Structure 1
Amino acid sequence: MTIAFHFLDAGRQLTPWLPRTRELLSSVEGDVARLLHADRIDVVTYVSDEVIPELGVNGFSEGRHLMHLKLDPRNVNFVKHFETAVPSLFAHEVHHCMREGCVGYGATLRGALISEGLACHFEAEVTGRAPFYATALSPAQVDAMLQRMLPQLDAAWYNHPAWFFGSPREEIPRNCGYSVGFGLVGAYLTRNGLTASGAVGVPVASFFN
């Protein structure tokens, strides 16, 4: 099993954080690889301002074999959340990579809800903490937003940024999709006695039966 780490630091912006970043990734690499049988993934870490504002860190998976980990030391929340966000988002994105190799992320809102819900649950499986964006909505809000989503679940096009990052104009709260997906996946895992790692290859339709 191979997860290859690459650190881009020509500008020396990452240098002060590089040793600890390596340690944090190493601390969860073994569990992530074992639980998901993860292999052949390049993890590219670099400084970027394209981060989750509340964390100063972000991740992005690009297909089965590549993930990006973005750090912004200039973000006001970076220092506070660096230690927990790096391992959590690493786990989240590796789950996406492995699901991409069997089921795919999903081209519809239905598929995206499940992929994000699973990745959020895998964060909790590895670190013991659910991410804030997975629990941003109350149970009543989750139910209400799911009802709004139903007509669009299988549409050929849907507004991913609005559903997942929020849209005041459309009255969609921030992190809506993550919270709804987390709820859907959590119910399925509980009913079937599964974990997010064990369900990485479960088809989308199974979560709605």
Structure 2
Amino acid sequence: MTGIDRGVVVRIERSQPTIYRRMTGRGTVSTTRLAIPSGSDAACWDGPDYGSSLGEALVSEGLAGVFAQEVCGGLPEPWERLDVSDIRRLVAMAESDWSRNDYGHDAWFFGAADLPRWLGYSLGFQLVKRFLLEHEGSTSSRLVEMEAEAFRGMLAVI
């Protein structure tokens, strides 16, 4: 068994300055905090998968963000902190597009003319946090196997 067989190898690309700065400690995010959501995503892929619909993507990203916060503490990441008033005005659109596979991932998660940057990450984070508030004793790691549809009702309380 080689060293690679016993652990995780992370290659840091100097050509990606933001990631390189964060991964090497020259930024504000620790290597652990940056890598935790990837572990959560891997658990999702082992369970119900990342998903192909908007609702599934929202829940997958929300679980990853909340899991990272549970493990590392501190504030949510900037992409998880969109103002709730901005999220609320788009909840009806999320409800309408929830089951769609052609929802436009880049627009929901990275922004477009009518959608603010990082809306998908922030909305997903809110869905999972509010679900946990209503289901005392639950943790994000225990929710990985849950279908995205179980979180849909949280749209009404954002």
The interval holding the TM-score normalised by the smaller chain is 0.7 to 0.9
Residue aligning to 1:174 = 117
Within 5 Å, give how 1:100-111 maps onto structure 2: 100-111=45-56
Number of equivalenced pairs:
145
| Equivalent residue letter for 1:100 | W
* 1:142 and 1:183 in contact (8 A); partners too: no
CA change 1:186–1:80 in 2 (3 A) is same
* 1:164 and 1:177 in contact (8 A); partners too: yes
Residue aligning to 1:198 = 142
Alpha-carbon offset, residue 123 of structure 1 = 1.1
2:31 equivalent among 78, 86, 96 = 86
Structure with the largest fraction of strand: 1
TM-score (norm 1): 0.63
Q: Does 1:186 align with 2:152?
A: no
* 1:123 and 1:131 in contact (8 A); partners too: no
Within 5 Å, give how 1:145-184 maps onto structure 2: 145-167=90-112, 170-184=113-127
TM-score (norm 2): 0.82
| Residue segments in structure 2 that go unaligned for 5+ positions in a row | 154-158
Alpha-carbon offset, residue 48 of structure 1 = 4.9
Kindly, what percent of the aligned residue pairs are identical?
Answer: 26
| Residue segments in structure 1 that go unaligned for 5+ positions in a row | 7-43, 58-70
2:42 equivalent among 97, 107, 113 = 97
Indicate the structure whose relative CO is greater, using CA pairs within 8 Å and at least 6 residues apart: 2
- Once superposed, what is the RMSD of the aligned Cα atoms? 2.0
Residue aligning to 2:156 = none
